[in-house]
Amino acid sequence: MKNAKMFLLRALLGAALLGNTLGVAAAEPPRNPHLSAAVYGMTHFDSSQSDAIPYAVPRSKFKVDLTQLKPILGGPQNNMTYAATTPGFMWAVSTDRVAYIDAREGRWDALAEISLPGVVRRSPAQLQRLVAQKYTSVDQASVLIKEVLGPNPGGVMPAGVYALVDADNIVWSNAGTWVNGIGLKDPANPSAGLEVKHRMDLSQVFEPDQLGEHKFLHLVGMNMTWDGHLVIGSTNAIAVMDRSMKKKTLRYSLPAGQFLTNSFATEGNTIYVATGSKMARKPGLMMKLVWTGQRISDAESDGAWQAEYDGGDWPPAIKAGTGTGSTPTLMGFGPGEDRLVLITDGGNRMKLVAFWRDVIPADFKAAQNTSSRRIAAVLPITAGLPPETAWVQSEQSVVVSGQGAFVVNNVVERGHPDKIIDVFTLGPVNPAPRGVERTQWDSASRTLRSVWARNDVASVSMVPITSSASGVAYVNGFDPIEGWNVTGLDWETGKTVFETRFGLGNEGNGAYAIVQFLPDGDLLFNSVWGPYRVPLTRPHPAVKPEGPL
């Protein structure tokens, strides 16, 4: 008992002391009042899509045996575990189900769960097969994965990938063309179960998209305006929907030839959307749209705008589309801070692009080789990789803390066209993508600059994050000898200051999910077959502390 108390005290004290060395924090994104919480109310954590948390995490190294911990089953993609309106409770959303979790005082118990309507639910044995089997080649993996998920494994992806929890403790998630609002049968007794409170088929709102020889309709994004309306994205349009479903859902068609593959940011009643071209090496569009209460406006008189950015080729792995792989991320919220929105562009060797969110400063002179004064700055991203590297591209949103931003490279030159097969084999079979970079916006010179880059750090497919309290950026990668890991890099220096090593088992693969930590510093790892709670600040047989790095 004494050792346990000392372990916890050292971890929390170290985190607290670290927080005191970081100086005055920049203004955090304001809270959307219609979300369940300021942090973890929606995918990418908040409406600005910051991927930043205020929780302190111990700077240390751990060896973790995930087989000794119990996940909340779901999958094969578990995008995020969301905050409920009641502190200590969370919603787990996956591609086949939703669960309500008691996470109070170190617990990790599913009190109730429900299948996503219209989605094939995988049994524990099927999910176990995906995790237990060893992948030795792409062909072998393809056969095994199709035996569990069917002939089109990647087809499971649109379900549950983007979700949010509203201030009424309703979790909203998509499945096929349906948007589902799921809640507790009895808020006073969560164990009584879950039920679908609201449901709408958006095939009557969105039309199928045409890409090459194929027609399809996918829902690819979700956010909320600050007057409480859901914003839903499909590949060729977005819609604003009344959560009570009593009013007409309004649609905005994206410009011809443009293709949406990511979600969007909101601020007030503005919506920031980035699309890519359906044609290789043609420009994509960064757009600010305005929800007026009656329509989705692209009129300049309402404050809307659009600007082109560079596109590229269709990538060979992980990322989809010729445009940005990033959900737009907002930067700048405090007095005197420049108000920007950031994406990575679609160039095969990407650039970080910052756009002015509001009125362009009158004295601003457009940067060289940019197509619009709306573009505040452009920075080529090397991720520390050699100039001859064919692909430096991200499938993940830009992580923002204060005036700093962090990006990862997710693309290698060889992959599988099915994104689920691809994400299971990158690392264990094909070499994992490597390269990360931290950048900084300089208000005085109105430029972006590189602070540091690491070409030895792997980030396979999980969304990276940062802890503003600890000053660390976190990625999920793979090492051929040590296996899967979550690695933390000092925000100012790039030095490795945190590591959890999971070993070669597939449990350590986050598969397009997002890295999370809980307020007490525990790792919330959204594994390929469900989220784990990994205790880092108290003794547990599954976790072996190995000291500071």
Q: Which domains does the chain have, with CATH numbers?
A: 2-545 (2.130.10.10)
Confidence grade of residue 25 (pLDDT, cut at 50, 70, 90)? low
Q: Reduced to 3 states, what is the DSSP secondary structure of residue 327? A: coil
Q: How many residues does the chain have?
A: 549
The single-letter code of the amino acid at 405 is A
Q: What is the pLDDT of residues 95-140, one digit of tens each?
A: 999 999 999 999 999 999 999 998 999 999 999 999 999 999 999 9
Return the residue matching tokens 């359906």.
278
Confidence grade of residue 507 (pLDDT, cut at 50, 70, 90)? very high
Residue 401: name the closest of 494, 325, 477, 469 by CA: 469
Name, in order, each residue with C-beta under 8 angstroms of 142's C-beta and a sequence gap of 6 or more: 416, 418, 421
Ranking 53-62, 76-85, 150-159, 247-256 by mean pLDDT, the lowest is 150-159
Q: What is the pLDDT of residues 223-262, one digit of tens each?
A: 999 999 999 999 999 999 999 999 999 999 999 999 999 9
If 0-12 CB within 10 Å is exposed, 13-18 middle and 19+ buried, where does residue 360 land? middle
Confidence grade of residue 13 (pLDDT, cut at 50, 70, 90)? very low
Please answer whether residues 261 and 220 qualify as being in contact, where contact means their C-beta atoms are separated by less than 8 angstroms: yes
Pairwise CA distance, residues 38 & 45, whole Å: 8
Q: What is the pLDDT of residues 340-398, one digit of tens each?
A: 999 999 999 999 999 999 999 999 998 888 889 999 999 999 999 999 999 999 999 99
Over 50: is that where the pLDDT of 11 sits?
Answer: no
Q: What is the pLDDT of residues 188-236, one digit of tens each?
A: 999 999 999 999 999 989 989 887 777 888 899 999 999 999 999 999 9
Pairwise CA distance, residues 486 & 502, whole Å: 8
Return the residue matching tokens 């170290």.
14
Residue 262: name the closest of 325, 199, 201 by CA: 325
Cα-trace Rg, the chain: 22
Return the residue matching tokens 């593959």.
261
Over 60: is that where the pLDDT of 9 sits?
Answer: no
Please answer whether residues 367 and 377 qualify as being in contact, where contact means their C-beta atoms are separated by less than 8 angstroms: yes
Pairwise CA distance, residues 491 & 189, whole Å: 42
Considering the entire predicted model, what is its pTM? 0.94
Which tokens in the block code for residue 408? 């990862």
If 0-12 CB within 10 Å is exposed, 13-18 middle and 19+ buried, where does residue 4 land? exposed
Q: What is the pLDDT of residues 44-69, one digit of tens each?
A: 999 999 999 999 999 999 999 999 99
What is the structure's pLDDT at 8? 36
Pairwise CA distance, residues 205 & 246, whole Å: 15
Computed over every residue of the chain, the mean pLDDT equals 93
Q: Reduced to 3 states, what is the DSSP secondary structure of residue 467? A: strand
Pairwise CA distance, residues 88 & 59, whole Å: 24
Q: What is the mean pLDDT of residues 491-497?
A: 98
What is the structure's pLDDT at 127? 96
Please answer whether residues 475 and 458 qualify as being in contact, where contact means their C-beta atoms are separated by less than 8 angstroms: yes
Q: What is the pLDDT of residues 512-529, one digit of tens each?
A: 999 999 999 999 999 999
Over 70: is that where the pLDDT of 24 sits?
Answer: no
Please answer whether residues 464 and 405 qualify as being in contact, where contact means their C-beta atoms are separated by less than 8 angstroms: no
Residue 267: name the closest of 28, 27, 30, 25 by CA: 30
Q: What is the mean pLDDT of residues 5-34?
A: 54
